[in-house]
Amino acid sequence: MTNHVERFAPSPTGLLHLGHAFSALTAFEAARQVGGTFLVRIEDIDVTRARPEFEEAIYEDLAWLGLAWEKPTLRQVDRFDAYKAVLDDLKSRGLIYPCFCTRKEINAALSAPHHDGSEEGPDGPAYPGTCRALVEDQARMSRNPYSLRLNMRKAIASLGGSGIIKKLSFKELGTGRKGKPKKINLDPDYLIDSCGDIILARKDTPASYHLSVVIDDAFQQITHVTRGQDLFAATSIHRILQALLGRPTPLYRHHRLITDDAGKRLAKRDDARSIRAIREDGGTLEDVRNLLGFRP
């Protein structure tokens, strides 16, 4: 069997819509064409928003879409120990720090006149750094909720500095010359000024999307990541985390976003475009495949 492992990694926080179907079908077909493997991973780290009924709906919709995957299905709630081990490692290397800021405090600091107004990263404006230099205070940590942030400058320094970071890259499938993969190099200024000290563990859940996705893509030996263009900017973060954690870098394919008739990107709240709604309206798999531009 070819070593080609794809995954579809939905969060069970709503119903799947056409955009998800496009990701899942693209990944599944790419694997099938070369006799590779297709996996599903349930990204349910957000325990406040994940719901068992949405997880059930995901399985039902994927089966309806004609997709089969290797079992058991990995669920991220079962991976909290693995995330903690990595966070402990990063802590012992002095690369993460606790942050007690509320969203309101961050917004206030960001709107202060001295803020430099750099381009936004994938998670919004870079964190202004309020808690970066705090001396570790165990008493405060036991009293107050905190997130864990990566000290981006230190992380870059620990890898050898900006010059080394510029040489790190990932490959984007099908976008280079003659449809070849295109090499995308990391930009240390973008990482520092736009992404900044990204969250690796949230106040309400012991990992962030960026951390868990990197650890689990490596754990599941994913060779090809297929996902929407909206996550392209996050891939620079994933690439530097892979370097910091000694994890391999898969190939990436960030596909076009599926929009509604008005050209607006589909979101989970657009229930009308959910696979379930299409199904309940009498839509067939063929309708969905046609709509998404898949050949029969």
Q: Which residues bind ligand GLU (CB under 6 A)?
A: 9-11, 43, 213, 227, 231
Pairwise CA distance, residues 52 & 267, whole Å: 20
In this complex, which beta carbon is closest to ligand GLU, that of residue 191 or of residue 213? 213
In this complex, which beta carbon is closest to ligand GLU, that of residue 10 or of residue 36? 10
For the bound state, the minimum distance from the C-beta of residue 222 to ligand GLU, rounded and expressed in Å, comes to 10
Cβ-count burial 164-176 (b if 16+ within 10 Å, e if not): ebeebebbbbeee
The number of angstroms, rounded, from the C-alpha of 190 to the middle of its chain's C-alpha atoms is: 18
For the bound state, the minimum distance from the C-beta of residue 116 to ligand GLU, rounded and expressed in Å, comes to 29
Closest-CA residue to 229 (of 293, 173, 275) = 173
For the bound state, the minimum distance from the C-beta of residue 238 to ligand GLU, rounded and expressed in Å, comes to 8
Q: C-alpha distances in angstroms, 88 versus 56, 95, 148, 211?
A: 33, 10, 11, 13
- Tell the burial category of 73 from Cβ atoms under 10 Å away from its Cβ (0-12, 13-18, 19+): middle
Cβ-count burial 47-60 (b if 16+ within 10 Å, e if not): eeebeeebbebbee
Helix (H, G, I), strand (E, B) or coil at 284: coil
In this complex, which beta carbon is closest to ligand GLU, that of residue 101 or of residue 222? 222
In this complex, which beta carbon is closest to ligand GLU, that of residue 10 or of residue 121? 10
For the bound state, the minimum distance from the C-beta of residue 216 to ligand GLU, rounded and expressed in Å, comes to 9
In this complex, which beta carbon is closest to ligand GLU, that of residue 10 or of residue 188? 10
For the bound state, the minimum distance from the C-beta of residue 40 to ligand GLU, rounded and expressed in Å, comes to 11
For the bound state, the minimum distance from the C-beta of residue 3 to ligand GLU, rounded and expressed in Å, comes to 20
Count of C-beta atoms within a 10 Å radius of residue 28: 22
In this complex, which beta carbon is closest to ligand GLU, that of residue 96 or of residue 266? 266
